[in-house]
Amino acid sequence: MLSDTELNVVVLGLGYIGLPTAAVIARTGAKVLGVDVTESVVETVNSGRVHIEEVDLDGLVSGVVARGALRASAQIAPADVFVIAVPTPFAADHAPDITYVLQAATTIAAVLKAGDTIILESTSPVGTTERVRDLLAQLRPDLRVPGRAGEAADVAIAYCPERVLPGRILVELIDNDRVIGGITPRCARKALTFYRRFVRGACVTTTAPAAEMTKLTENAFRDVNIAFANELSLVADTMGVDVWEVIRLANRHPRVNILQPGPGVGGHCIAVDPWFLVHAAPDHTPLIRTARLVNDGKTDHVIAQASAMIEARPDAPVACLGLAFKANIDDFRESPALKVAQALAQRYGERVRIVEPYASTLPAPFDGTGATLIDIDTAIEGCPIMIVLVDHDVFRSVPVEERSDKLVLDTRGIWPDQPAAARQTESLRLVG
């Protein structure tokens, strides 16, 4: 792996992707400036601390900040390479919102010089990298941009999506293969040279639109496959069959590999990115659109199931286990667990107790509901009804002796040994 103390890198957006990326680049010996519009993020990073939960990130950030290899600022400075890792949410009608990306490009334009490389890492609709190029051309007419001035461009612009798994970000940033899409092949080669400094996985070059679509395709693939599992869970419920057992058995087929059902699909990626494809080609995406609706519909189904259980036991306290969108992380964005717990808190108020080891206080959606945050031991002692929404290790580890008398709705299949009379399908029959 190469290292180069002369290389200056700016990373725009110091969130779940940008901060680990900035720290990993700083570790290679480059001088990294992290730029973020959120003041508290800048302050936290400059004090050598982190504002997000990610395995080993705190030690890495404190080390590179102490060495002066990474610093944060609200102000941009000139650099050789600019990496954009800002949010790309969608609007109410599911149209992708690339405002933050264009704002970041505008910020870069002020300090851009010939020879620089700009890499967009934010998950983006197809065509966004070219829009960044067009914006830079407009803001900096003195610089020749790629794809217009051909190979004679002054700056390189590329798209390189991130495909890391929260909880393993520092490992996967280095080990995962990267798809690098250049506006031109020369742009791709320049970006490739940069990623080679810290990526051990294969770096494959292509065009910017192909790389943009690759990222959206990966997440749509996951969404469609999870939708299949979620649909199966509804079918199995109707028939009183244990869906996890059926999936385990079906997966013994050498060419079948069904994913796990859950209370829906969450997170910043899988629940969002498929809409970018649907929005781009609405007439050709019935499957991708339906998968999104099936996964969102599963959340509504769980709310209905949980409500039926809660109403069958008036006054009994209810423990909602987990708010995060997946196990062992503190990320609540687009989380179906949070949506279920919030709906139940709004309906049943102070009967609802939330157990979330990755939260020190209840997030804003619970304000005014009367719901409280408790730990797992308190829940085991005082809550006869338990709704498992996240498969955090701490929930998995609760032995059957401590929950055999509970009425359980296990949306993650973490307690297969729960006595049948207290299990999901049986309990619903009991309710009905």
Ligand X SMILES: NC(=O)c1ccc[n+]([C@@H]2O[C@H](COP(=O)([O-])OP(=O)(O)OC[C@H]3O[C@@H](n4cnc5c(N)ncnc54)[C@H](O)[C@@H]3O)[C@@H](O)[C@H]2O)c1
The residues of the shown chain that bind ligand X, judged by CB under 6 A, are 12-18, 35-38, 41, 85-88, 100, 103-104, 107, 122-123, 162, 164, 166, 268-269
Q: How far is the CB of 9 from ligand X (least distance, A)?
A: 14
Residue nearest to ligand X (CB): 15
The residue from 160, 187, 203, 269 that is catalytic is: 269
Residue closer to ligand X, measured from CB, 231 or 330: 330
Q: How far apart are CA 73 and CA 92, in angstroms?
A: 31
Longest dimension (CA), the chain: 74
Residue closer to ligand X, measured from CB, 161 or 413: 161
The residue from 31, 190, 215, 298 that is catalytic is: 215
Asked if residue 422 lies in contact with residue 400, where contact means CB atoms within 8 angstroms, the answer is no
Q: How far is the CB of 216 from ligand X (least distance, A)?
A: 10
Asked if residue 147 lies in contact with residue 130, where contact means CB atoms within 8 angstroms, the answer is yes
Q: How far apart are CA 41 and CA 48, in angstroms?
A: 11
Residue closer to ligand X, measured from CB, 85 or 229: 85
215 has catalytic annotation:
yes
Distances (CA, A) of 194 to 1, 30, 180, 198: 11, 11, 11, 8
Q: How far is the CB of 370 from ligand X (least distance, A)?
A: 29
Q: Within its chain, how far is the Cα of 53 from the centroid?
A: 13
Q: How far apart are CA 217 and CA 223, in angstroms?
A: 10
Alpha helices in 114-242 (DSSP H): 128-139, 169-175, 185-195, 208-239
Q: How far is the CB of 10 from ligand X (least distance, A)?
A: 10
326 has catalytic annotation:
no
Residue closer to ligand X, measured from CB, 55 or 430: 55
Residue closer to ligand X, measured from CB, 53 or 237: 53
Asked if residue 323 lies in contact with residue 332, where contact means CB atoms within 8 angstroms, the answer is yes
Q: How far is the CB of 255 from ligand X (least distance, A)?
A: 29
Point out the residues that are catalytic: 215, 269
